[in-house]
């Protein structure tokens, strides 16, 4: 694993690291913030999954998460959103290919060779960071924005016991019924396996074994694609432990994400330290 950069931040260290990924068949880059407490021993971990077009860097520099994570003594992992590099399939559209991995294992050409983001995030990257850094992998939580909110919710519900809590900012909530979903799931998976990557359907079928927090802006320009009402209805019908909040006047941007980041960090800290 190569250290790309390390910077002092809020008493801790914000690092960027590159490694060869067996799952994705290429080099992958991720960000990791370690609070000061990591000098003395393993600290809890919050995963942040980003949205369409993002790299590891967007949330790392825009979400304002490190200060609040430092206060709580929590590490932050910022993975990339897709495989990248020479020989990795891509598409001219912003919402398919590099930057748009959708957190699935692709089965269809030309994507199947590299686009295995599910295995990367469910297995490979946790094993890597857990072995290389002072992280308490028995205390993990996960969050994400837009496509990353989709990824966070689906990983949390399909990996019971892994995460103490899950939250999402404006998640793609019902991709099997949205153009942000049907296009990508069809390209990556063909006609099979879509239901396993739909947060609304997973909420209806199994729910999450912990608390859930979802924030959605009322002025989000992508509301028709996100379909938040479907997830809210599924949470209510299941009596899922959690809260869905419609935040008046907010859009889809990182101004929205950063406005509520402190509350999300506090939400996860409560769950993590209860373990």
SS3 state at 1: coil
Domain ranges of the chain: 2-274
Among the listed residues 56, 150, 197, 252, the single catalytic one is 252
> Quick one: pLDDT band at residue 198, thresholds 50, 70, 90?
very high
| Structure confidence by residue, pLDDT tens digits, 130-177 | 999 999 999 999 999 999 999 999 999 999 999 999 999 999 999 999
Question: Tell me, what's the pLDDT at 101?
Answer: 97
Whole-prediction pTM value?
0.97
Q: How confident is the model at residue 265 (pLDDT cuts 50, 70, 90)?
A: very high
Report percent pLDDT > 70 for the chain: 100
Return left, alpha or beta for 17; rule: phi > 0 is left, psi -120 to 50 is alpha, else beta.
beta
> 136: buried, middle or exposed (CB in 10 Å: 19+, 13-18, 0-12)?
middle
Return the pLDDT at 54.
97
Give the pLDDT confidence score for residue 56 in this predicted structure. Answer: 98
Q: Which of 165, 220, 264, 268 is catalytic?
A: 220
Predicted local distance difference test score (pLDDT) of residue 25: 97
pLDDT for the residue 180: 95
Quote the CATH superfamily of domain 2-274. Alpha/Beta hydrolase fold, catalytic domain (3.40.50.1820)
How high is the mean pLDDT of the chain? 98
Q: For residue 177, what pLDDT is reported?
A: 97
Q: How many whole angstroms separate alpha carbon 182 and alpha carbon 274? A: 38
Question: Catalytic: which of 146, 165, 167, 178?
Answer: 146
| 41 CB-contact burial (10 Å; exposed 0-12 / middle 13-18 / buried 19+) | exposed
Is position 252 annotated as part of the catalytic site? Answer: yes
Q: What is the pLDDT of residue 94?
A: 95
Cross-sheet strand order for the sheet of 242-247: 2-9, 12-21, 26-34, 75-79, 43-49, 135-144, 163-169, 212-217, 242-247
Tens digit of each residue's pLDDT (9 = 90 or more) over 12-63: 999 999 999 999 999 999 999 999 999 999 999 999 999 999 999 999 999 9
CB atoms within 10 A of CB 112: 14
Q: Are 55 and 25 in contact (CB under 8 A)?
A: no
Give me the pLDDT at residue 36, please.
Answer: 98
User: What is the token pair recorded at 7?
Assistant: 């910077």
Task: List beta partners, residue 15.
Answer: 6, 32
Please answer whether residues 82 and 97 qualify as being in contact, where contact means their C-beta atoms are separated by less than 8 angstroms. Answer: yes
CA-atom Rg of the chain in angstroms: 17
9/14 Cα distance (integer angstroms) = 6
Tell me how crowded residue 84 is: count the other CB atoms within 10 A of its CB. 19
CB-CB contact of 226 with 216 (8 Å) = yes
pLDDT at 78: 98
| CA gap 25, 119 in Å, rounded | 12
Structure letter (DSSP) for residue 116: B
Q: Would you call 191 a catalytic residue per the annotation?
A: no
Q: What is the mean pLDDT of residues 63-82?
A: 98
As beta bridge partners, residue 45 has 75, 140
220 flagged as catalytic? yes
Give the position of tokens 């960027």.
16
């Amino acid at each position: 694993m190569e250290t790309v950069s390390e910077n002092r931040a809020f008493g801790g260290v914000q690092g960027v690291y590159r490694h060869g990924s067996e799952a994705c068949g290429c080099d992958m880059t991720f960000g990791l913030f370690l609070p000061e407490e990591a000098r003395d021993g393993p600290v809890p971990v919050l995963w942040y999954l980003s949205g369409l077009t993002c790299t590891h860097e967007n949330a790392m520099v825009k979400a304002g998460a490190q200060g609040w994570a430092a206060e709580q003594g929590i590490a932050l992992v910022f993975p990339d959103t897709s495989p990248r590099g020479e020989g990795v399939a891509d598409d001219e559209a912003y919402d398919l290919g590099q930057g748009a991995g959708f957190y699935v294992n692709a089965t269809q050409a030309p994507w199947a060779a590299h686009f295995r983001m599910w295995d990367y995030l469910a297995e490979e990257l946790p094993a890597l960071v857990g072995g290389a850094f002072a992280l308490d992998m028995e205390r993990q939580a996960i969050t994400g924005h837009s496509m990353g909110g989709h990824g966070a919710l689906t990983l949390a519900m399909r990996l019971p016991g892994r995460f103490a809590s899950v939250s999402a900012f404006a998640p793609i909530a019902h991709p099997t019924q949205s153009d942000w979903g049907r296009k990508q799931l069809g390209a990556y998976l063909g006609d099979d396996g879509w239901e396993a990557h739909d947060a609304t359907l997973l909420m209806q079928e199994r729910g999450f074994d912990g608390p859930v927090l979802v924030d959605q802006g009322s002025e989000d320009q992508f509301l028709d694609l996100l379909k938040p009402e479907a997830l809210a209805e599924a949470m209510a019908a299941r009596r899922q432990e959690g809260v869905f909040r419609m935040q008046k006047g907010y859009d889809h941007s990182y101004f929205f994400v950063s406005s509520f980041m402190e509350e999300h960090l506090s939400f996860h800290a409560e769950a993590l330290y209860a373990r």
